[in-house]
A and B are shown apart, each in its own frame.
Chain A
Amino acid sequence: MKTMLIAALVFWTQWAMAAGDSTTIFVSQILHDTEKTYAIQQLMAAQDPQVFPLLNAMNEKKLYLLNNQAVTTGEKTESADGTASYEIYALYPKNELLVNKNGQPLHTSIDALTVVEINRTDRLLLNGILPILQLFSPEPAKRMLAYGQLKDSHAPHRIEMLQLALARETNPDALRAGKDMLFAIQLNTATDAQAAKMYIDSLAENWGDNAPVFLSDYAKSKKVMADYAGQKAVELEHRYDFLQKVQNLFSGLSLGSILILIALGLSIVYGLAGIINMAHGEFLMIGAYTTYCIQTLFTEVLKMPYTDLLFLISLPLSFLVAGLLGLLLERLVVRHLYAKPLESLLATWGVSLIFIQTARSLFGDLTAVKTPAFLAGGWAVSPHLVLPYNRLFIIGLTCLVVVLTYLMLYRTRLGLQIRAVTQNRDMSACLGIDTKRVAALTFFFGSGLAGIAGCAMTLIGNVVPDMGQTYIVDSFLVVVTGGVGKIVGTIVSGLGIGFFTKILEAFFQAVYGKVCILLFIMLFMQYKPKGLFPYKGRLAED
């Protein structure tokens, strides 16, 4: 008995080794011989998951030789001089990322690799197991797609292959998608109620993108626990809707904070000096270009490596640059137009045309600023709710700016003077306030705030010459709705318009949302013609 067992064991090991050996032989045949058809057929028949990465590379025409080892290329990186290099994955016997001596991923140009030619007929052989092959692709996006396609495929051993693939899965999103599919397949093959319930719970727990669809499909199939699945599906939908609402509110908050950042300076300047500054949006553009210039100056002219510090120093610098240009504009043009809002509107519109054209001839039509690494990505509150860091940063920045502005207006001597001039210019002048100086400083401050807003805007969009125009009309609406020269009014109406826009956009399309907002504001002005927080007093209108 014992000898028989030993004999069987020896035989089995030898057979297994032989099988392993034969795989190696077939692989080497594919890599080095010209006749590959037989080897491919044998490998496919063996269904050994170890060779799937290799077969997948063949299918994608990305099979190469590096030091006589089968490899494929992964993520592409382009260096500054335009040459492309790739991450390299070994394929067989182990599928892994190749690293250099320092443990960093190895990067090689495509020329260093020898292409293994596979002809078309041989490649077509793989079609039969294509859905399974893709599970072993080096790119997470392709793997996610492959997981999704498994549902309708009837490949043999798909559950086993899926489990094998999931065991090696490293990307969290792909893992969720894969598990989603695994549980769904298992659920559909489950026979007793307890197993079905377990899989339903797992599906709901995992909450992949397709989970509600799978559950509601299962609910319609009238199998065991179908009602329970339906119930879970509805629950998931509700949770998803709720998260969408949260996301929408967050977008509203983000839009509102941008509007506040722009409208704050506008409102103070208008309240104090009766100036409608149509070029205010252009100071935003100037702030954005300042950020761009600082980045270009340090990385390309001075050849220093890019750091996130560059963005942080551009924040105060864009305030300064925009502020100083604002001061220049005040001295040259606006000074002559105090308390003539309509004239100032037209003159500053002309100034904005000049600014836009200057920016266009200096920088061209489209440039972009690199987002700092610490603001890339987002805070994943839950799988279906991701709050981008750059938006969070802008909201935080707005809070900071609002607090600083408040302190400036209500805790400093200059702020006191600004408020005095806003309320009554002549009386303040009588009391010895240099109203012209105050007005100039206010203009500097207001333009600087727009500059900061511009610097922040580089985080969420391109830098283009007419970027200021996009927001200027909206921010004027904020000023008008909030009441002129009032911080509280600007904050409330900025947030209000931001929220309303996003909520209406959820119901209608963006354009109709905007029309609705406008109608709403026009109706609102019927009741509060001077905005939410007008100055109280008995000033005659003329």
Chain B
Amino acid sequence: MEKEKKIYYLLFIAFFALLLPAGHLMGWVSINTISLWGRYFCFAIAALGIDLVWGYTGILSMCQAFFFCLGSYGIAMHMLLKTSGAALPEFMVWNKVAALPFFWVPFQSLSLSVILCLLIPSLLAFIIGYVLFRSRIKGVYMAIITQALALAMWLLFLRNETGLGGTNGLTDFRTLLGLPLSNTYVKLGLYLVSLLLLCLAYFACYKMTHSKFGKVLQAIRDSEPRVNFTAYKVMDYKLAVFVVAALLAAAGGMLYAPQTGIITPGRMDVKASVEMVMWVALGGRGKLKGAVAGALLVNFLYSICTSLFPDSWLYILGFLFVITVLFFDKGFVGLIDTLTKRKEPCY
């Protein structure tokens, strides 16, 4: 059984780390496809965080897309400043902003940007989590409040006077680390970095869920009061996992912006967060494999469907939502597991 599992991992890595780049170098796979998969990996990293929070701990957080966008916006600000050089970014000139707003200043250095991109979301997650978990808000209440939070933040980012580009978002970045983003090899590099980060994140999450910490998380999911009665500080555990999830989302977001070339508030609206949760549900929650598979599959399906029959994507997604929740509670991976397990003798 263990051996079989390892084969799947090796197949996954061999396909994405060797076959796809090799295919590109041979001229069979276009660089756009590569970049597309790179973006899916970013989503998968965020999905891992959602799986930790929802699948393992049972907290339905509907503002993960917001953390994802915080990472994206941070790195986008840095790239925009590097592109415009000493001058103000173009959208500020259009909006008649005279001087660089104070919160843009630290983003001039890359190292500081990376630190801030991870620090700000985790700090925000800490504050939100602290306030919500302290008053023992959970389940539906948690979902609704985080959703309202996502809505409020989305509205805030839509405004021009918050200095983040308003509805149009941030776009037109050209370089990262001094490398031109339009170069195919840079794109390939970003793809490989995303893949590497996904593997690392997966490995870290795997270790986390198989440690004592992970067991407590699952215990909280199954019965929070009982964990509380056995003198575990439930709030600390929940807070920790919530911050980790925000960190993962932000890390995914940071790699997402340079590969897409644009980041708009549309990525963080209410729909976006629900969809992120849906990737995990479709893939199979409570299983890290499920989160990754869900994020990759749904997004792959999205790009196929929108090009083949653009009008029916929402129908497909809607039906997938309903059918998964109703009939495949364990998601895609769970379905495969039950199918393969059926061959074994029943007890």
Contacts and interface: CB of A to CB of B under 8 A. Distances in A.
Contact of B311 (A341, A345, A361, A511): A361
B131 interface: yes
A343 B135 CA distance: 23
A354 B318 contact: yes
B278 A473 contact: no
B156 A515 contact: yes
A350 B147 contact: no
Nearest to B136: A529
Contact of B141 (A344, A509, A518, A525): A525
A526 B145 CA distance: 13
Nearest to A354: B318
A477 interface: yes
A514 interface: yes
B205 interface: no
Contacts of B224: 541-542
B137 A476 contact: no
B230 interface: no
Contact of B135 (A270, A344, A346, A529): A529
Given A473-B147, A476-B147, A342 B322 contact: no
A400 interface: no
B225 interface: yes
Contacts of A527: 135
Contacts of A509: 159
A276 B149 CA distance: 18
A515 to B, nearest CB: 5
Given A353-B317, A522-B131, A526-B134, A346 B325 contact: yes
5 contacts: A349-B278, A473-B147, A522-B145, A525-B145, A542-B226
Contact of A347 (B60, B148, B158, B322): B322
Contact of B152 (A345, A479, A518): A518
A357 B318 CA distance: 10
A480 interface: yes
Interface in A254-302: 270, 276
Interface string B146-158: 0111011001101
Interface string B117-143: 000000000000001101111011101
Contacts of B226: 542
Given A541-B225, A542-B224, A345 B317 contact: no
B325 A526 contact: no
Give the interface size bracket for B toward A. 35 or more
B314 A356 contact: yes
Given A354-B315, A357-B315, A480-B141, A542 B225 contact: yes
B66 to A, nearest CB: 13
Given A353-B317, A511-B152, 11 more contacts: A270-B140, A341-B140, A346-B325, A347-B326, A350-B321, A350-B322, A357-B318, A473-B144, A518-B148, A521-B145, A541-B224
Given A276-B143, A526-B135, A542-B223, A346 B155 contact: no
A347 B278 CA distance: 10
Interface string A512-531: 10110010011101110100
Contacts of A351: 318, 321-322
Given A276-B140, A350-B318, A333 B223 contact: no
A515 B326 contact: no
A343 B325 contact: yes
Contacts, number: 123
Interface residues of A, number: 44
A473 B155 contact: no
Contacts of B148: 473-474, 476-477, 518, 521
A336 interface: yes
A302 to B, nearest CB: 31
B320 A350 contact: yes
Interface string A323-336: 00000000001001
A511 B159 contact: yes
Contacts of A270: 140
A337 interface: yes
Main secondary structure of the interface of B (DSSP, over half): helix
Contacts of B244: none
Given A345-B60, A518-B149, A522-B131, A353 B141 contact: no
Interface of B: 60, 131-132, 134-137, 139-141, 143-145, 147-149, 151-152, 155-156, 158-159, 223-226, 270, 274, 277-278, 281, 311-312, 314-315, 317-322, 325-326, 329
A184 B314 CA distance: 62
B319 A350 contact: yes
Given A333-B326, A342-B139, A350-B325, A476 B144 contact: yes
A480 B225 contact: no
B135 A515 contact: no
Contact of B137 (A346, A477, A529, A541): A529
The 6 closest A-B pairs by CB, nearest first: A350-B321, A353-B318, A354-B318, A357-B314, A347-B325, A350-B318
A346 B274 contact: yes
Given A349-B321, A350-B317, A357-B315, A342 B140 contact: yes
Contacts of B312: 357
A323 B141 CA distance: 26
Contact of A473 (B137, B270, B277, B318): B270
Contacts of B152: 511, 514-515, 518
A350 B314 CA distance: 9
A512 B134 CA distance: 25
B11 to A, nearest CB: 30
A349 B274 contact: yes
Given A341-B139, A529-B137, A346 B144 contact: no
A353 B314 CA distance: 6
A351 B152 CA distance: 24
A213 B144 CA distance: 48
Contacts of A518: 145, 148-149, 152
Contacts of A474: 148
Contact of B151 (A333, A342, A473, A522): A473
Nearest to A344: B325
A526 B144 CA distance: 15
Interface in A227-242: none
Interface string A343-383: 11111011111101100010000000000000000000000
B71 to A, nearest CB: 21
B230 to A, nearest CB: 14
Nearest to B320: A350
B166 to A, nearest CB: 11
A203 to B, nearest CB: 38
Contacts of B139: 341-342
A333 B281 CA distance: 17
Nearest to A516: B152
Contacts of B315: 353-354, 357
Contacts of A541: 224-225
